[in-house]
A and B are shown apart, each in its own frame.
Chain A
Amino acid sequence: MFGLMVTSLEQGLVFGIMALGVYITFKVLDFPDLTVDGSFPLGAAVASIMIFNGGNPFLALCLATAAGIAAGCITGFLNTRGKITGLLSGILTMTALYSINLRIMGRANVTLLNSRTIFTYIEEWGVPHRWVFLALFIITAFLIKVLLDCFLKTQIGFALRATGDNPEMARANGINTDTMKILGLSLSNGLVALSGALVAQYQGFADIGMGIGTIVAGLASVIIGEMMLGERTICMATFATLMGSFIYRLSIGIALRLGFAATDLKLLTTVLVIIALSTPKIRNLLRSTSSTVSN
Chain B
Amino acid sequence: MLELKGVTKIFNAGTVNENVVLRDINLKVDEGDFISIIGSNGAGKSTLLNVIAGVYPVDRGTILLDGRDITRVPEHERARFIGRVFQDPMKGTAPSMTIEENLAIAYCRNARRTLKWGLNNKLREEFRQKLAETGLGLENRLNYKVKLLSGGQRQALTLIIATMVKPKLLLLDEHTAALDPSTARLINNLTEKVVLQKGITTLMITHNMEHAIKMGNRLIMMDKGQIILDIKGSDKTSLTVNELVGMFEQAAQRKFDEDRIMLGARS
A173 touching B105 in the complex, CB below 8 Å, given contacts A165-B97, A166-B93: yes
Question: Bound complex: CA of A121 vs CA of B197, how far in Å?
Answer: 66
Which listed residue (A161, A172, A177) contacts B84, Cβ 8 A?
A172
A176 touching B76 in the complex, CB below 8 Å, given contacts A154-B114, A162-B97, A165-B96: yes
Q: What are 20 residue pairs bridging A and B, where the CB atoms are less than 8 Å apart in the complex?
A: A153-B119, A154-B117, A155-B108, A155-B113, A158-B108, A158-B118, A159-B108, A161-B94, A162-B94, A162-B105, A166-B94, A169-B93, A169-B105, A169-B161, A170-B105, A173-B105, A173-B106, A173-B109, A174-B108, A175-B113
Contacts of A173 in B (CB 8 A): 79, 105-106, 108-109, 161
- Give min CB distance, A145 to chain B, whole Å: 17
Contacts of A171 in B (CB 8 A): 75-76, 79
The reply on A123 being an interface residue by CB < 8 A is: no
The answer to whether B91 and A175 have CB atoms under 8 Å apart is: no
The answer to whether B105 and A159 have CB atoms under 8 Å apart is: yes
The reply on B80 being an interface residue by CB < 8 A is: yes
Q: How large is the interface on A (under 10, 10 to 19, 20 to 34, 35 or more residues)?
A: 20 to 34
The answer to whether B94 and A169 have CB atoms under 8 Å apart is: yes
Q: 8 Å CB contacts to A: which residues of B75-109?
A: 75-77, 79-80, 83-84, 86, 90-97, 101, 104-106, 108-109
Question: Bound complex: CA of A154 vs CA of B118, how far in Å?
Answer: 4
The reply on A151 being an interface residue by CB < 8 A is: yes
Q: 8 Å CB contacts to B: which residues of A145-204?
A: 151, 153-159, 161-162, 165-166, 168-177
Nearest first, the 3 closest Cβ-Cβ pairs linking A and B are: A165-B94, A155-B113, A174-B79
Question: Bound complex: CA of A157 vs CA of B114, how far in Å?
Answer: 9
- Give min CB distance, A234 to chain B, whole Å: 10
Q: A172-B84, A175-B113 are in contact. List 16 more A-B contacts (CB 8 A).
A: A154-B114, A154-B117, A155-B104, A158-B104, A158-B113, A159-B108, A165-B94, A165-B97, A166-B91, A166-B95, A169-B91, A169-B94, A169-B105, A170-B105, A172-B79, A173-B105
- Give min CB distance, A273 to chain B, whole Å: 22
The answer to whether B84 and A158 have CB atoms under 8 Å apart is: no
Question: Bound complex: CA of A153 vs CA of B76, how far in Å?
Answer: 21
The reply on B265 being an interface residue by CB < 8 A is: no
Contacts of A170 in B (CB 8 A): 76, 94, 105
Q: 8 Å CB contacts to A: which residues of B55-88?
A: 75-77, 79-80, 83-84, 86
The reply on B19 being an interface residue by CB < 8 A is: no
Q: How large is the interface on B (under 10, 10 to 19, 20 to 34, 35 or more residues)?
A: 20 to 34
Chain B contact residues: helix, strand, loop or mixed? loop
Contacts of A165 in B (CB 8 A): 94-97
Q: 8 Å CB contacts to A: which residues of B119-157?
A: 119
Question: Bound complex: CA of A161 vs CA of B96, how far in Å?
Answer: 9
Question: Bound complex: CA of A159 vs CA of B79, how far in Å?
Answer: 14
- Give min CB distance, A162 to chain B, whole Å: 5
The reply on B115 being an interface residue by CB < 8 A is: yes
In the complex, which residue of chain B has the Cβ closest to the Cβ of A158? B118
The reply on B110 being an interface residue by CB < 8 A is: yes
The answer to whether B95 and A158 have CB atoms under 8 Å apart is: no
The reply on B116 being an interface residue by CB < 8 A is: yes
Contacts of A177 in B (CB 8 A): 76
Question: Bound complex: CA of A277 vs CA of B93, how far in Å?
Answer: 26
- Give min CB distance, A73 to chain B, whole Å: 19
The answer to whether B97 and A158 have CB atoms under 8 Å apart is: yes
- Give min CB distance, B102 to chain A, whole Å: 8
B35-58 Cβ-contact flags toward A at 8 Å (1 or 0): 000000000000000000100000
Instruction: Identify which of B53, B97, B105 gathers the most chain A CB atoms within 10 Å of its CB.
Output: B105
- Give min CB distance, B171 to chain A, whole Å: 10
Contacts of B96 in A (CB 8 A): 165
Which listed residue (A155, A166, A174, A175) contacts B118, Cβ 8 A?
A155
In the complex, which residue of chain A has the Cβ closest to the Cβ of B106? A173
The answer to whether A154 and B115 have CB atoms under 8 Å apart is: yes
Contacts of B109 in A (CB 8 A): 173-174
Question: Bound complex: CA of A143 vs CA of B107, how far in Å?
Answer: 30
The answer to whether B91 and A168 have CB atoms under 8 Å apart is: yes
Contacts of B92 in A (CB 8 A): 169, 172
Contacts of A154 in B (CB 8 A): 114-118
In the complex, which residue of chain B has the Cβ closest to the Cβ of A232? B145
Question: Bound complex: CA of A151 vs CA of B118, how far in Å?
Answer: 10
Contacts of A151 in B (CB 8 A): 115
Contacts of B119 in A (CB 8 A): 153
